[in-house]
Structure 1
Amino acid sequence: MAVSDGLRVILKGHLDWGKCRLDCFIGMLLALVRLKHVNLTQLALAFTSQADPKSRYRRLQRFFREVVFDYDAIASLIMEMFGLYDQSYYLTLDRTNWKWGEKNLNILTLGIVYQGTAIPVYWLVLNKQGNSNQRERIALLQRYIRQFGRSNILGVLGDREFIGDQWWQWLSDQRIPYLIRMKDNQLMTDQRGYERPVRSLFANLQAGKTRLLRKKRRVGQQWVWLSGMKLNSGELLVLAGNQRFDQPLDVYGLRWEIETLFQCLKGRGFHLEETRITHYFRIKKVMALLAIAFCWAHKTGEWKHKAIRPLRTKKHGRIEQSLFRYGLDHLSDLILHGLSKTENLLKLWVLFICPPDIIGFDKQKPEIMVPKV
């Protein structure tokens, strides 16, 4: 039995595609894990088929041109892969962008903060250069809430791009906490009615020190809690929230995990920026392929770190290798060299579908995966 047979059974329960299209998607997924590269020309070479490389390449092109993706189903699959339905978590928003020729590629991504990275659940390809607008952010969060509700959201984290009265008011109306960084020259109005830049509230702050203001200030039309930290570089980091966080700087630090996700999708993983696909709807489909591959690799790295060989922690407190890369290398090695063993096929399937916290291993045969009872 081939590894694609098990993946087909798993994915058929989520993606409403026929066998031919499922097999094409699975073939690309396995080729992506083998090569660690999303360029279609390269994927066609690693795509298992009796057809010649040009025919394989045209098949992949047709897939991204013609196949309809259900992004709600893909988001549900990703949530199930990590067992996130019953957990509470922070959401983080950010964009990744690059340029191919004269074409600007700009993807707004919503992720769940998770173990040093962000799990991508929804993304919006912006058909423009530059920042997202308030309407686009609201639309992305609305789609998430329609599918998964708001009860598990601890807060939304975002960088200086994600400010705006309409956006902040919408989050407050939805009873969703937010913690957003502001520009230090952003004007605020204090309780006496004076308007001045927010940096004036932290003017005498020393490097490495933080300050949490005890009273709300008005920014635009929103009354928010402000906190600040003077970085060692001398730059001032100012945060605004619609509720008071006990440790706002620590919470905001989780926002950086989406940057780790982008690094994994790009230079440290699948080289997204080297794709030659630039069409709005097709690059969104490429992101779906990468999101599933990323989740599979990260889950594998979690399992291997806990159950087989823990990664060494360096002096700076971080592990020697990311869980994503640890898992990706393991999957790649299995697919390239280890599929002659039935237990390795079982391992790939279980790693794909079971949440990491219910995956165990037989201590007598640590190479064989078995679900915990």
Structure 2
Amino acid sequence: MLEANRISLAYLITGILASKAVQLRQVASKVVYPGKETSLVERFRRFLQNENIVVKSEFNPFWELILSALSQSQLVLAIDSTKVGGGCICLMVSVVYKSRALPVCWVVFKGRKGHSSTDIQLALMKTLKSLLPAEQAIILLGDGEFDGSELVTWFEQQTTWRYVCRTANRLLIEHQNDWRPLAEIELAPEEETFLTDILFTQSGQVGPVNILVVWHNKVKEHWFFVTNFTDPDQARNWYRKRFSIETLFSDVKGRGFNLDKTRIWKPERLNRLIFAVAIAYIFTVFLGVDLIVRGPFEKLFRTDRFYHSLFQLGLSHLNHLLKTCLPIPDLGPLPPPDSFEHVVLAC
């Protein structure tokens, strides 16, 4: 990236952190800039329009910083989509870290939530694979948008990957020598089961796979999951971590940077805006970790009743540093999550 673009990105990230917004005028209003505020807004626009900025390669150093802390063990990844901008969807893969999820890679496209095509999903998975060490152990978690036969086939082909994806009860499986919808599996309320060596979808015939059926107490219905885990308890427990990506979306939207309020409607420009938001988010989480590991954690927060997430801690730490004119710490690599297991974090 050219030096001028790097400076523009730094201004953009600074303004996002200070304003907790992504509307360019609001962002510019919080940045100390030698020129006019309108000039800074135009600078931001030129950055977002710049086709020479390749997000994947420019974001890679930040991903490597995260990977260096987590690659010694299996990586827990979640995939999900969320609405951003004018009629656009962001399909994102994130890595689970404590109670948060950190962005890894994403794609932005015109569409409706829950309706990403198989081609888009597979392209993102191939991008993801290119970012990972060859023999890295992976656990991938997805909701019902990611249960297509082609995608599940691709998961099955990755020898070091395990996956759990929720699936629709209308999909057909071969059960007891007959093709039937999952909804027709005879189970009483609150009854659960684990089906092994199943062919999945009559049209695609993926398999053998395993099907986990659990009872959801809140909605009073059975939920179905396709997986290559052989232990149903493991599949269930890992899937619960998928909700970390929903906290990520909440943080960059209503609880943090209000990404959903942007009026930008072109996917390629939104992609570059999300690039800046992703760096701002990672920086904030790193600050939250730094506050616990090295900072004045006990001086700023009660430890008998604790309701803060890493993201909220990071924002508070940043505000404290700015108010007291203290330098921003050199964050360095992300510490392993087990280095502060004594702290119970909020979701």
- TM bin (shorter chain): 0.7 to 0.9
Alpha-carbon separation, structure 2, partners of 1:313 and 1:166: 48
Pairing 1:12-27 to 2, within 5 Å after superposition = 16-18=1-3, 20-27=4-11
SS at match of 2:297: coil
Deviation by residue 1:193-222 (Cα, 9 ceiling, x = unmatched): 21222133352142xx64323x32221212
Alpha-carbon separation, structure 2, partners of 1:211 and 1:121: 34
Alpha-carbon separation, structure 1, partners of 2:88 and 2:55: 22
Distance change (3 Å), C-alpha of 1:91 and 1:153: farther
Matched with 2:178 is: 194
Matched with 2:62 is: 77
Matched with 2:79 is: 93
| Aligned-pair CA distance for 1:81 | 4.2
Structure 2 contact 139–162 (Cα < 8 Å) conserved: yes
Pairing 1:292-307 to 2, within 5 Å after superposition = 292-307=279-294
Matched with 1:160 is: 144
Q: 1:180 aligns with which of 161, 165, 184?
A: 165
Identity among equivalent positions (%) equals: 24
Q: CA RMSD in A?
A: 2.3
Structure 1 contact 118–257 (Cα < 8 Å) conserved: yes
Pairing 1:1-373 to 2, within 5 Å after superposition = 16-18=1-3, 20-66=4-50, 67-81=52-66, 83-98=69-84, 103-130=86-113, 131-175=115-159, 176-190=161-175, 192-201=176-185, 203-206=187-190, 210-213=192-195, 215-220=196-201, 221-222=205-206, 223-232=208-217, 233-245=219-231, 246-307=233-294, 308-309=296-297, 319-335=306-322, 337-339=323-325, 341=326, 344-345=327-328, 347=329, 350-351=330-331, 353-357=332-336
| Aligned-pair CA distance for 1:151 | 2.5
Distance change (3 Å), C-alpha of 1:87 and 1:74: farther
**Which consecutive segments of 4 or more residues in structure 1 shift more than 4 A?**
310-315
Alpha-carbon separation, structure 2, partners of 1:297 and 1:163: 33
Instruction: Give me the TM-score of the superposition, normalised by structure 2.
Output: 0.86
| Aligned-pair CA distance for 1:314 | 8.3
Name which of structure 1's ranges 24-33 and 68-77 shifts more when overlaid on structure 2: 68-77
| Aligned-pair CA distance for 1:75 | 3.0
Distance change (3 Å), C-alpha of 1:76 and 1:205: farther
Deviation by residue 1:213-254 (Cα, 9 ceiling, x = unmatched): 3x3222121221111111113121111112313421111111
Instruction: Give me the TM-score of the superposition, normalised by structure 1.
Output: 0.80
SS at match of 1:44: helix
Q: Which amino acid aligns with 1:75?
A: N
Deviation by residue 1:103-149 (Cα, 9 ceiling, x = unmatched): 31211001111111211110000222341122211111111212323
Distance change (3 Å), C-alpha of 1:157 and 1:150: farther
Structure 2 alignment gaps of length 5 or more: 340-347
Number of positions where the alignment pairs a residue of Structure 1 with one of Structure 2: 325
Structure 1 alignment gaps of length 5 or more: 1-15, 361-373
| Aligned-pair CA distance for 1:295 | 0.7
| Higher RCO, Cα 8 Å, sep 6+ | 2
